[in-house]
Amino acid sequence: MSTQTAHQTEEPDQAGSPMTLTADRPAAGAATTERPAKIRRRGQSSPLATVLSHGTLIVASLVALFPVLYIAYISLGPDDNDYLHPAKIFDKMTFANYTKVMNDTGFFTWFGNSAIVAGGTTVIGVLIAASTGYAVSRMRFPGYRQLMWTLLVTQMFPIAVLIVPMYYILSNLGMLDSYTGLILVYSSTTVPYCAWLLKGYFDTIPMEIDEAGRVDGLSPIGTFWRLILPLARPGLAVAAFYSFLTAWGEVAYASTFMLSSDKYTLAVGLSSFVSEHDHQWQLMAATSVLIALPAAVVFYLVQRHLVTGLTAGAAKS
């Protein structure tokens, strides 16, 4: 709408203009003298459009922020039913829920477990996804199409089909209740998408770089490791972010495969603690904030890479 207005100001004499404009032609002629003041360059928009877009974006931002702020606010209320009367919390804000959750549970053990599992998933998942992504981006080999199809289909697997057989396999391999087992399970859920995404990113890196590396005597794996990976940092950042998030907040697999309470991840441990304290929503809220904080830190570290990293993947695959 706005740009249309811009059009009319710029080219009032355009053939085929609406009737009103033709009727106003003398006025439009008069307006020509003021034109230099009104002219807008392409990409600039009218004040109305600016106000409208800021308005929309502000509303959207509020919608995006509100649930996060709300839960943080609720977590400061000391009593069970405070979530029903949020206004009352304001006068009695306290960090008591946080101290309770941290002192009465194996918080730091679980935090460590989560860090190991999520960190392990991120490193292993991204590494093997990257090497696969590079192979399918640069090399055509028998089985290429089948592999791409598998990577897509694997994302369709419902957790309900996999979880029982996975339990059997892990128990046969002696990997139940172990970090390795859970890291591998998470990797199997994150790798297909990450490989797909990274293939797209590698596709945007010119082949000439590989060729230069090869001419200088690097092996394909050396080229990948020394030249391509450093160039693919935005793609890797997105893959890492995705893997970390998946592993950090996951509950279903973790609660099935981690049996002893000193191996619980943060999400499993804290939700079991909360379910023992039935309906103590304020504790649950504090718990949620504690789980969300590390994810927010990782998010902040990678966010500037998100647009470039994601899109290359989507644009080319």
Partner 1 sequence: MAVAVAQRIRLSYSKYWYAYAMIAPVVIVLGVLVGYPLVRGIYLTLTNATSLNVGRQIGVNHIPDSFDFIGLDNYADVLWGPTAYDRFWSHFIWTVAWTAICVVLHYGIGLGLALLLNRKMRGRGLYRLVLILPWAVPTFVTVFSWRLMLADGGAVNGLLSFLHLPEPAWLSDPLAQKAAAILVNTWVGVPFMMISLLGGLQSIPQELYEAAEMDGASPWQRFRHVTLPGLRTVSSTVVLLGVIWTFNQFAVIFLLFGSGAPDAQILVTWAYRLGFGQQPSDYAQSATYGILLLSILIVFTTFYRRWLARNEKANG
Q: Whole-number minimum distance, CB 153 to partner 1, in Å?
A: 6
As a whole number of angstroms, the distance between CA 228 and CA 280 comes to: 50
Specify the stretch interacting with partner 1 by CB under 8 A; choose among 20-28, 30-38, 101-109, 303-311.
Answer: 303-311
C-alpha closest to that of 232 among 158, 125, 313: 313
- Mark the segment that binds partner 1 (CB under 8 A) among 3-11, 17-25, 26-34, 100-108: 3-11
| Distance (Å, whole) CA 82 – CA 91 | 12
| Beta carbon nearer to partner 1, 193 or 263 | 193
Q: How many residues touch partner 1 (CB under 8 A)? A: 102
- The first and second tokens of residue 251, run together, are 């509950």
Q: What amino acid occupies position 120? A: G
Query: Which of positions 258-277 make contact with partner 1 (CB under 8 A)?
Result: 267, 271
Closer to partner 1 by Cβ: residue 162 or 231: 162
Smallest separation, CB 217 to partner 1 (Å) = 10
State the burial class of residue 174 (Cβ atoms within 10 Å of its Cβ: 0-12, 13-18, 19+). Answer: exposed
Tokens 């003021």 identify what position? 34
- Footprint (CB under 8 A) of partner 1, residues 92-151: 128-129, 131-132, 134-136, 139, 141-142, 147, 150
d(CA 111, CA 294): 10
Task: For the chain, state the CA radius of gyration.
Answer: 28
Q: Per CB under 8 A, does 209 bind partner 1?
A: no
Q: Minimal distance in Å, beta carbon 31 to partner 1?
A: 20
Judged by CB, which is closer to partner 1: 21, or 33?
21
Task: List the x/- string, 52-91, binding to partner 1 by CB under 8 A.
Answer: -xx-xx--xx-xxxxxx-xx--x--------xx-x-----
- Give whichever of 84 and 209 is closer to partner 1, judged by the CB atom: 84
What span, in angstroms and rounded, lies between the C-alpha atoms of 289 and 232? Answer: 32
Residue at 265: amino acid letter: T
